[in-house]
């Protein structure tokens, strides 16, 4: 079984400042990793994913994440946030190789302050 | 391209009434399908998943049920709603590569009064 920990339930940040949203996971097997974003009253939208290859993954809206196997982390970063980035961000993990259920973190609410 | 639909978008129901939420996927075949619930300000709770027609796995025992009468149709039901059933219900399908990447519908906001 795997687990995902998003320690920060809320992260306030000023507009145009950088941000990092933390995600740590636990798994006994290799994993695929995802970040999703949820705007108010909407479904989740995939930001980026790590399946294999380069550990630095670039996604939509200027976000990127780095897979660190030794630290079992997959932190999400953006160098300069906008008001429109205000949303809830979910980290998710899935064991690689065949069908397995995805485990989602509890989410981090990013609040961008004008 | 693939799309996923959910309806209704919002629903207000009295306690004890029945429920039927529908999810349909277009542009793919034999997807894995999922129902999640999201309580206010909370994370995602997996309720049911399905790997094929008539195949339903339940994750959480409760008064909800799910059915998959067609390949791309997934229905969430209840015979008698409870107050605790209020929440935001999300349907999702899994991509062909079976990597765990999921695509979510727009959701249904259910309020039980």
Does pLDDT of A98 surpass 70? Answer: no
A29-67 tens-digit pLDDT: 888 999 999 998 899 999 999 998 999 999 999 999 999
SS3 category, B26: strand
* pLDDT given at position B99: 78
Q: Please, what are the averages of pLDDT over each run of 10 residues along chain B (113 residues)?
A: 92 97 93 90 87 90 90 96 94 82 94 96
> DSSP assignment, residue A109?
E
What are the chain A neighbours of B49 within 8 Å (beta carbons)? 101
* pLDDT given at position B61: 67
Residue A111 near residue A20 (C-beta atoms within 8 A)? no
Who among B49, B88, B100 is closest to A94 (CB)? B100
Does pLDDT of A74 surpass 90? Answer: yes
How far is residue B51's CA from residue B74's CA, in Å, rounded to a whole number?
11
Task: List, in order, residues 6 or more apart from A48 with CB less than 8 Å away.
Answer: A34, A35, A57, A58, A59, A60, A63, A64, A65, A76
Distance to chain B for A52, nearest Cα, Å: 11
> In whole angstroms, how far apart are CA A19 and each of A38, A72, A79, B67?
17, 20, 7, 42
Put simply, the answer to whether A42 touches B46 (Cβ < 8 Å) is no
Helical ranges in chain A per DSSP H: none
């Amino acid at each position: 079984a795997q687990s995902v920990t998003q320690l920060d339930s809320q992260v306030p940040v000023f507009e145009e400042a950088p941000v990092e949203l933390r995600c740590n996971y636990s798994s006994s097997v290799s994993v695929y990793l995802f970040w999703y974003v949820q705007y108010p009253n909407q479904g989740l939208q995939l930001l980026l994913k790590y399946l294999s290859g380069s550990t630095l993954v670039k996604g939509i809206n200027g976000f990127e994440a780095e897979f660190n196997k030794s630290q079992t982390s997959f932190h999400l970063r953006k160098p300069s946030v906008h008001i429109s980035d205000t949303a809830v961000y979910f980290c998710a993990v899935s064991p690689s190789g065949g069908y397995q259920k995805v485990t989602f973190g509890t989410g981090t609410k990013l609040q961008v302050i004008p | 391209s693939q799309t996923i639909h959910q309806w209704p978008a919002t629903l207000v129901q009295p306690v004890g009434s029945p429920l039927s939420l529908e999810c349909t996927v277009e542009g793919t075949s034999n997807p894995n399908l999922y129902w999640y619930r999201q309580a206010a300000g909370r994370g995602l709770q997996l309720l049911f998943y399905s790997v094929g027609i008539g195949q339903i796995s339940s994750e959480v025992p409760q008064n909800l049920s799910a059915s998959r009468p067609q390949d791309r149709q997934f229905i969430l039901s209840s015979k008698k709603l409870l107050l605790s059933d209020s929440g935001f219900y999300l349907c999702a399908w899994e991509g062909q590569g079976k990597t765990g990447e999921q695509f979510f519908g727009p959701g249904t906001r259910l309020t039980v009064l």
